Structures are given as C-alpha cells and as structure tokens.
Amino acid sequence: MTKQADILTEFLDSKTISALGDFLDKTTGYEESADIIAKAFGSGEKFSKQDKKTTAKLVDSFKNNLTLLIQKTWVEKSDIALKDQLLYQLDIFLGNESWKDNYVLFKQLINQAVFLMFGQKPDTPDFAEYSLRIDPEFGIFWWYISNLPPKTEWSEDKCRIAMLLGMFFLANY
C-alpha cells in the first residue's frame, strides 16, 4: 500500500476507496459507485439519478463558487493572467453542451484552479499527501480528481456523472 493510500484509510472506508476503482473500470453499472463517492463528498442518496433542474442548480453553484475561489485567491503578479485565463475557460466550459467534449477542459480547469489555490503543481506525487494532511475533505476530493484519467472515451452519461461529482464538491467547498 502506498503512503497516500495509508493516509487515505484514515479518512475513508474501504467501500468508498474501492468504489472509485469500480467507477473508473465499469462501462455500465457505475452509478452505484458514483453514489458512494458522492456520499463521501456529503451528497445525499441517488446522486447519479439527479434530474435536469437539480443538475442545472449544481452547475450554477459550481460556477459561482469556482469563480469566487479564482477571484479571491491571492496570487503573485505573474499568475494574474492565469486567473483571467481560468475565468475565460470556465465560461467556455459552461457554454458547451456536451459533457463528453468538456471532460478534458474540466480536468484542466480543476488542475489550474488548484494550482492557484495552493501555489504548487497538483500533479506532483507529494501534493496528494499534502492535501490530505492540511484539509482532509479537500484531500479526498483531490484523490478523486487525480485518479480520473486525463482523457477518456466514456459515454456522455459517465462523463456527466464524473464531472458532476467534482462540481458537487467545489460547489460546496
């Protein structure tokens, strides 16, 4: 077991940890795993079955909270352009109707926002452990995000659920 996995077991049960692997591996029947992950983020039952109205509200909350996080994060002068670029990319992301087409942009947005918030590259091996230690809730979110593949050929629905899980956390962070 890796050092991150050891630390992760301090905050998550084995059912939740294995749910991520199940979610990533399955092409069908992944909804139950997504619901288990969502529960770890503080969601109620049947996260994967939310209707369009609930999804629209979640996306709006995500937009508002991520915009606020980006705007209110103090950065060095050299990173101000990154903040502006991130806000622009967020608008592009939210204007695109296809979840599948938006998947790569979603991963980029999250990585760049996390870089702004923490001032270090989130794709380094030490970042996962660091995030778990300084803020376990965020560390669990980062564990989820960092395990999502950079690109995928998942269905529209699976991409939607994968991104909504990340959006749910950030909408409530």
* Contact by Cβ (8 Å): 50, 160: no
Higher per-residue pLDDT: 154 or 6: 154
* Contact by Cβ (8 Å): 27, 155: yes
Which band of pLDDT confidence, cut at 50, 70 and 90, is reported for residue 4? low
d(CA 172, CA 41): 9
Which band of pLDDT confidence, cut at 50, 70 and 90, is reported for residue 123? confident
* Contact by Cβ (8 Å): 163, 66: no
By CB atoms closer than 10 A (0-12, 13-18, 19+), residue 44 is: exposed
Which band of pLDDT confidence, cut at 50, 70 and 90, is reported for residue 126? confident
